[in-house]
Amino acid sequence: MLEEMPLEKLTAMNIVHEVGMSGRPEFYSGRGAILTDLDSSLLTKIHDLIKREHGDDASKNFVEMVVNMKNLSASDFLTCLYHLESSDWKYSGFQSDLPGGIAVAKDREGRYDAVSGMMGAMDAIFVNRSGRDETEMIRNPFLEEIGYEPKPGSKKRRFSNNAGYTTEEF
């Protein structure tokens, strides 16, 4: 009689590919936190796949990661997501340390690719000069969609077209 083999769970990179994102942080390098790279619907799909593949605790830790990220650029998000996976889906407060959200590819030997690094830096300087940070427009609809309840006394930033960011207390 054949024994049933357990199915392989999707890795974080597989999940990211499943929702239509590039799995390479350097692909989004230097572009800032913008809705064209990462939005609340992608976060919701990623959350749901993590929950399906890795369980409730993993999805709750994913939410805590998103809540605590200072900047939701796609590069920073992917770096934190891969760290969360490598920590067995347990969030420890890790923050991405990518300078300016610039991720640089490595070659097969693990050396940084100078050309990719220069391209990322040039993008950051010339393309993302506006310094756009749409983190709260990415994060808040996702948290509302999944029914996240902030801890009493915590603050939530909202974006207002007229006044920039405003802060509310819960």
> In this predicted structure, what is the pLDDT of residue 53?
97
Domain that holds residue 140: 12-169
Question: Does the residue 1 lie in any domain?
Answer: no
Confidence label for 162 from pLDDT (cuts 50, 70 and 90):
very low
Confidence band for 170, pLDDT divided at 50, 70 and 90: very low
Question: 94-106 burial string, b = 16+ CB within 10 Å, else e?
Answer: eebebebbbbbbe
What is the total count of domains within the chain? 1
Q: Could you tell me the two tokens for 82? A: 């891969």
Q: CA of 168: how far to CAs of 70, 83, 98, 112, 156, in Å?
A: 17, 30, 29, 42, 5
5 found inside a domain: no
Question: pLDDT by residue (tens digit) across 60-103?
Answer: 999 999 999 998 999 999 999 999 999 999 999 987 765 555 55
- Here the tokens at position 162 are 């007229």
